[in-house]
Amino acid sequence: MAQGSFAGLARHSASSGGKALFVALAALGLASCGSFSSGPGQSNGSDFVASAPVTPVQSEPLAGPPGAPVAPTGDQIGTGPIHVAMILPLTQGAGTPSLVGTSLRNAADLAISETGGNDVTIFVKDDRSTPDGARDAAQAAVAEGDELILGPLFSPNVRAVSQIAQPAGKSVVAFSTDTATAGPGVYLLSFLIENYVDRVVDYAAAQGKRSFAALIPDNDYGHVAQAEFQQYTARRGLRVMGMETYKPQTLRTAVQKIAALDNQIDTLFIPEQADAMPAMAEALAAAGLNSRRVQILGTGLWNDTRVLSLPALQGAWFAAPDNAGFSAFAARYRAKFNSDPTRIATLGYDAAALAVALARRPGTDHFSQAVLTNRAGFNGVDGVFRFLPNGLNERALAVLQINNGTTMPLSPAPRILAANSSAM
């Protein structure tokens, strides 16, 4: 992630402090980290047939010129001339409202109110938490002439949207963490496991850690983390002395095997999710493993009160966005909506603010691949980030230490992303 300025928009010094960075974001949306060059299952009801014919005059408005955009649909945020679609899981199941979808929508509303409601209009469309719903929403967005698609959240829905958006030449900024959904023209704004792994392992190596082991949950999250851990330790020339994959019923056995390595390891990586960490902590304590004996590493999912209070995890390190940005955002969100945002609501805010900032660029290629993959990157609520040509992202992350139920920063998130490094 990096910081800087959009040409013709605003300039933000890379040496400015965190407060200035946040103020610049609030005033402008997301600011580019550098100047741009002039040159990167369920049925949806569509099979319904009316039981009796009606006349065209009674049932449809008069058609516009061939190829002209149709009237926009969806919840409208902003009044600007540049139209953007945001596809979210506003409902699920039998139409039950979705907390996460509502939180993302509200965050986008907050961003537009703070950064520029006269620059863009966002039309929020419900994908009903299904691929069919996402496909319907994407088809509507293309037909209505929206220039950019923000969302959706779930990976099957991202795939469905991509199938519509890419042939139409529309860029997508999605919120899924499934890297298989990314590609040229489909960019993931989410917090990717790979960034967490690279940052915390790199920091550990910088502190002199050389002999690693890993406890890997046998699930999708664990498999992605394991692959990145193996690749990154190999690139850094670090030794991996043991790696155990486990299911809940084999957890204690796996931990005992790692504990048996004893002084052969100085670091233990555990990419487990917050709700499973109490059981992990019990197993670690039973095996005599803690961060006084071996340095324990985790991912940003540990920035959770359920993890921070666990005795066996005191002193552990993990990579995550700086907390200050989310805390300030959450306070403003509560003031506007009288409720707490979900943690990923910042993605909705940053996506909307990014659309505003790019809409202010001169010319008509506001959301082209060249623009979105600017190497300087953009400033967001959770720090600096940039999109890669393959659709993935890099984020500037802090390294935090668990300390008596809270976190203590060990290494702040960089203000600028290095030219050719990942999330450092």
Q: Residue 296's domain is classified under what CATH number?
A: 3.40.50.2300
pTM (2 d.p.): 0.82
pLDDT of residue 166: 97
Residues 274, 359 within the same domain: no
Residues 173, 200 within the same domain: no
Domain end residue (candidates: 261, 291, 320): 320
> Residue 416 falls within a domain, yes or no?
no
pLDDT of residue 220: 93
Task: Please report, for residues 30, 143, 168, the alpha-carbon distance to residue 380 in angstroms, rounded to integers and kept in the order given.
Answer: 6, 30, 28
Residues 308, 329 within the same domain: no
pLDDT of residue 392: 97
Assigned token pair, 383: 């720090």
Domain end residue (candidates: 320, 355, 371): 320
> Residue 46 falls within a domain, yes or no?
no
> Residue 50 falls within a domain, yes or no?
no
Residues 17, 99 within the same domain: yes
**Residue type for position 215:** L
Instruction: Assess contact for 115 and 357: CB atoms under 8 A.
Output: yes
Tell me the C-alpha distance between 77 and 415, whole Å.
Answer: 31
Residues 145, 273 within the same domain: no
Tell me the C-alpha distance between 421 and 424, whole Å.
Answer: 6
Overall domain count for the chain:
2
pLDDT of residue 379: 95
Residues 161, 213 within the same domain: no
- List the 383-387 sheet strands across, edge first: 378-380, 383-387, 393-395
Residues 163, 224 within the same domain: no
pLDDT in tens, the chain (424 residues): 333 333 333 333 333 333 333 333 333 333 444 332 323 333 333 332 223 333 333 434 444 455 566 888 999 999 999 999 999 999 998 899 999 999 999 999 999 999 877 999 999 999 999 999 999 999 999 999 999 999 999 999 999 999 999 999 999 999 999 999 999 999 999 999 999 999 999 999 999 999 999 999 999 999 999 999 999 999 999 999 999 999 999 999 999 999 999 999 999 999 999 999 999 999 999 999 999 999 999 999 999 999 999 999 999 999 999 999 999 999 999 999 999 999 999 999 999 999 999 999 988 889 999 999 999 999 999 999 999 999 999 999 999 999 999 999 999 999 998 876 544 4
Residues 105, 156 within the same domain: yes
Strand partners, 82: 120
**Residue type for position 400:** L
Beta carbons within 8 Å of 254's beta carbon, 6+ residues apart: 215, 244, 245, 246
pLDDT of residue 62: 42
Domain end residue (candidates: 274, 296, 320): 320
Tell me the C-alpha distance between 201 and 196, whole Å.
Answer: 9
> Residue 402 falls within a domain, yes or no?
no
> Residue 409 falls within a domain, yes or no?
no
Residues 14, 141 within the same domain: yes
Beta carbons within 8 Å of 341's beta carbon, 6+ residues apart: 103, 106, 107, 329, 330, 333, 334
Strand partners, 216: 245
Reported residue count of the chain is 424
pLDDT of residue 419: 76
> Residue 415 falls within a domain, yes or no?
no
Closest listed residue to residue 124, CA positions, set 77, 188, 172: 77
Residues 158, 187 within the same domain: yes
> Residue 413 falls within a domain, yes or no?
no
**Sole residue written with tokens 């037909």:** 143
Residues 159, 27 within the same domain: yes
Residues 265, 349 within the same domain: no
Residue 362 belongs to what domain range? 6-32+71-191+323-391
Q: How many CB atoms lie within 10 A of CB 282?
A: 16
> Residue 410 falls within a domain, yes or no?
no
